[in-house]
Structure 1
């Protein structure tokens, strides 16, 4: 079938009756997500979560990068292996793009602008303009033109995407419907459906999946639901087969007279939206549990005990009080203040502070500047167990032949 008319990708949203249970699910998600988004946490945690989201984005695409390799790439230490270096650069590009998009599209105005052809092209351009020419022109596969809509026909699995000349028309209709959805729970249904229908349009020759997921991630942030503390990409990556199966199912034609009134399956669209809402709720619940402040002091203590007793890294348990303070306040301390809070003598406290900086448990912008809570990969298994399991067995200590979890 040739898709060249916008009625061919209806329904863009399920009927009112079909939306009812989804709205109830979205209500629970919105309430718990807003509560989590208001949490005060160290900025270093948000930075680490960007790396984690980038890791999972690569994993969804089957372009695997190890957490330690992403950490190296952020220091501009790229592999000598050409293919691995390309994946590392893509991971860094995702991290940087995510930060830019979250600052560019904020609040109600950001949500409105995200539902536009310009925004879809902007996301694609922002991501792929960060890559060198050799990464955009691979030996196998199409040449990627950042921000440029496709000018040829494509198919994805069993789905034949709309005629390339009709792509702007489909995107205009996509933006009109989802951009005019009322706020609140209905907006969550809209962003889930928009994710699938954007993939159905397939605006670009390549990079559509990444654009779809960045669009959804940025929308959730603009709606105030994430606070930089969670992303559905982690959940998508941990259920990749289901993610792709439900995406493909929602591409299918209507399954008889009881399956809505549009050209495509309403039942499959409902299943897809329910899946997205469930993934988001799972991620919110998981992160809410990890951020229970009553547990943090115990977790930091476990990390310090391992450093002191097993690694003998120079880190001492005396750092617990100031480190916990920095975590719960998301603040910074003068170096003298930090040393005073340890209760140690000046010389011993100075050695401890240097060891904490060397191990990444403290970070500072300058050699003598204020210090903040740090969260290196090797501390994850203590501070945030199971947050990024792949990083727990791929941290700096393991790479250097140190102790393993």
Structure 2
């Protein structure tokens, strides 16, 4: 069965091409202008936010407050199932960052299998129990294994299990990034997102895997700032609109003017326009959050409130007071990057014991990290996120 892989540049309307170009410029600007000390902390935060929103789309009921309270908890047995699911999703993204898939191989069946497997690696066996079929037959999910039975997803009946291998070969050839140039990688990202979810290659976990694939594909496709912003946050903002856009691209072709593939080219265009609009929305949102003057005002507000013990933790309990010198240190770390302990003491003008106590408190709260080499760097703590980056979670 033939499918149109994506809306090509020559067939894309002018406003869609303009939107893709704006996205490329905005992403490049965000990547170039983010303060270097903020880059890694924000990527870590977005990794958590992305995982939270991707799972929220699938019905995960964890709240941002619950998530922030447990983000540093490494004991899976003590974590609620919904939080454990998000934590493992974030861990999967971290492993992929440390051991990335080569851009030329991102579309292979081996890579897609790895993405699915990464999401479930380390989960207790009870979390891999699923129900399949109309009767809800219990089964154990095998991470990374393609389905061997037919499924129905709402009104959509994906291709038969026997056809998955053929479609995966087509998928690899259709979306190989070393063959795509100009605007094509971003237009292809939209098409690949839909086509992978339409194929539904796994018995369960296809939505999360598809969004994880898109994360990797956008990065491999040249968006250097991706990871500072997230598609899943946009999809989750109106999950009904997300599913409606996917369903539009599920439609079969309607006549000779609707493309030559089995599925509607008009539906694919509608989804592509939706996809690019979500990407632009999210890139603009993070760019606005990082605008220097407003970011500095939020930092000032946070530390002045901390001086008065005027902010609650994510669990509702009161935070302890924090010396105002913490603000001066935090802004120095943001502007200049990591500092040595001795330089901090001299800059703050505090005694050795007071400096040690202040840094200890900030480290315990996750506001800074202290290395073995006495180097101190900034971090984004769970309780500061809501003030410094309102609306992100």
Same fold by TM (over 0.5)?
A: yes
Spell out, residue by residue over 1:211-259, the C-alpha distance to the aligned partner (whole angstroms, 9 max, x if none). 1000001111223423531110111111211111111121111233332
- The alpha-carbon deviation at position 102 of structure 1 amounts to 3.1
* Matching residue within 19, 22, 27 for 1:33: 27
How far 1:182 moved relative to its partner? 1.4
Q: Distance in 2 between matches of 1:44 and 1:14?
A: 36
Which residue is equivalent to 1:346?
352
Shift of 1:133: 1.4
Mark the CA change 1:348 to 1:102 in structure 2 (over 3 Å): closer, same or farther: closer
Partners of 2:9 and 2:344 in 1: how far apart?
57
Quick one: distance in 2 between partners of 1:336 and 1:42? Answer: 25
- Residue 192 of structure 2 corresponds to 194
Question: Bigger CA drift: 30-39 or 342-351?
Answer: 342-351
CA distance in 2 between partners of 1:291 and 1:245 (Å) = 32
User: Are the aligned partners of 2:329 and 2:348 in contact in 1 as well (CA < 8 Å)?
Assistant: yes
Does residue 1:384 correspond to 2:389, yes or no? Answer: yes
Residues 35-90 of structure 1 show CA distances to partners (whole Å, capped at 9, x for unaligned) of 2123222522221221111111110110122234334264124576xxx7332222
Cα distance change on mapping 1:79 and 1:121 into 2, 3 Å:
closer
Q: What corresponds to 2:313 in structure 1? A: none
- Contact 2:308–2:321 under 8 Å retained in 1: no
Q: Which residue of the partner structure matches residue 154 of structure 2? A: 157
Matches for 1:237-248 after TM superposition, within 5 Å:
237-248=236-247
1:334 corresponds to which residue?
340
**2:82 paired residue number:** 87
CA RMSD of aligned residues (A): 2.2
1:132 and 1:362, CA in 2 relative to 1: closer, same or farther beyond 3 A? same
SS of residue matched to 2:41: helix
Q: Determine which of 357, 362, 365 is the counterpart of 2:363.
A: 357
Tell me, what secondary structure is at the counterpart of 2:140? coil
Contact 1:235 1:280 in 2 (8 A): yes
Alpha carbons 2:9, 2:183 under 8 Å: kept: no
How far is the alpha carbon of 1:200 from its aligned partner?
Answer: 1.0
Structure 1 residues not aligned, in runs of 5+? 1-5, 389-405
Equivalent pairs, count: 373
How far is 1:157 from its partner?
1.2
Taking the aligned partners of 2:198 and 2:165, their CA distance within structure 1 comes to: 13
Q: 183, 186, 197: which one pairs with 1:185? A: 183
Q: How far apart, in 1, do the equivalents of 2:252 and 2:50 lie?
A: 33
For structure 1, which segment, 254-263 or 302-311, has the greater mean C-alpha deviation from structure 2 after superposition?
Answer: 254-263
How far is 1:369 from its partner? 3.6
Contact preservation (8 Å) 1:255, 1:265:
yes
C-alpha distance 73-343 of structure 1, shift in aligned 2 (>3 A) = closer
Q: How does 1:141-156 map to 2 (within 5 A)?
A: 142-156=139-153
- Which is further off, 169-178 or 123-132? 123-132
- Distance across 1 between alignment mates of 2:274 and 2:264: 16
In structure 2, stretches of 5+ residues that fail to align are: 311-318
Q: 1:12 to 1:300 in 2, by over 3 A?
A: same
TM value normalised by structure 2: 0.88
